[in-house]
Structure 1
């Protein structure tokens, strides 16, 4: 069973995660300031301001990054090249494969694509399921 850690400010990522959990039964945990991480999982976050990683996500990454198998991010296409760029930045700074970028709370197609990507990563040998697999568009 997969575990997804997520950060949500406006509720978009939380709605996305609710859809994923309903379809899969996967464990989803909203990032909390004092939460402990002892199990591998995937990160889903949002992009804030003009293309920045949220502070709550940065704080989480300081101690949880070794446990993360992938990162996905939400954003708004109105921001052009800064669309969901927090995922790109996390992938680069922490060496975590980027799985998916989606708009706001995601469409049903986005949810299904996320599920398929996470399931596909189980078939690769290294801990982070191969950095070469960068599915995000």
Structure 2
């Protein structure tokens, strides 16, 4: 079973996750303060303040990065080079492969592409491979 952990402020990531879960049946858990994960999985978050990792996501990463196979972020293309940059920053800071970036709550094409990436691109639990870095 694939596990997704997500942070959503405006509901965009929540809508994206809801569609992914509806299609796949994967498990999804919204990040909570002081959350410790028992099942390894994938993180989906958002980018805030024109290029920052949300505080709750950062706390989650500090406590759980060793249990994450990949990171994905939503963003707004109006932010230019800062589009969904939270994923880039989390990937670099915590050595987690970058899986995908999508705008706002994503299109059906984005959702299907994300599902295919998660199903087919992460190869092991060691995170030794950067094969996910295709975003």
**TM-score tier after normalising by the smaller chain length:** over 0.9
Per-residue CA deviations over 1:99-128 (Å, capped at 9, x if unaligned) read 000000000000000000000134x24522
User: 1:52 — aligned with what?
Assistant: 52
Deviation at 1:41, TM superposition (A): 0.2
Structure 2-normalised TM-score?
0.96
Partner of 1:9: 9
1:90 corresponds to: 90
Tell me, what secondary structure is at the counterpart of 1:53? coil
User: 1:12: how far off?
Assistant: 0.2
Could you say what secondary structure the match of 2:22 adopts?
A: helix
SS at match of 1:43: strand
Kindly report structure 1 stretches of 4+ aligned residues shifted beyond 4 Å: none
So what's the TM-score if we normalise by structure 1?
Answer: 0.94
SS in 2 for 1:74: strand
Q: How many residues align?
A: 135
Q: Is the 8 A contact 1:40 1:68 kept in 2?
A: yes
Cα separation, partners in 2 of 1:42 and 1:126, compared to 1, 3 Å: closer
What is the aligned-residue RMSD (CA, Å)?
Answer: 1.2
Alpha-carbon separation, structure 2, partners of 1:66 and 1:134:
17
Tell me the equivalent position of 2:21.
21
Q: What SS does the aligned partner of 1:79 have? A: helix
User: 1:129, CA displacement in angstroms?
Assistant: 6.4
Instruction: Tell me what 2:132 maps to.
Output: 133
Q: For each residue in 1:61-120, what CA deviation from the matched residue of structure 2 results, as whole angstroms up to 9, or x when unmatched?
A: 111100000000000000000000000000111110000000000000000000000001
Question: Where does structure 1 lack aligned partners over 5 or more consecutive residues?
Answer: none
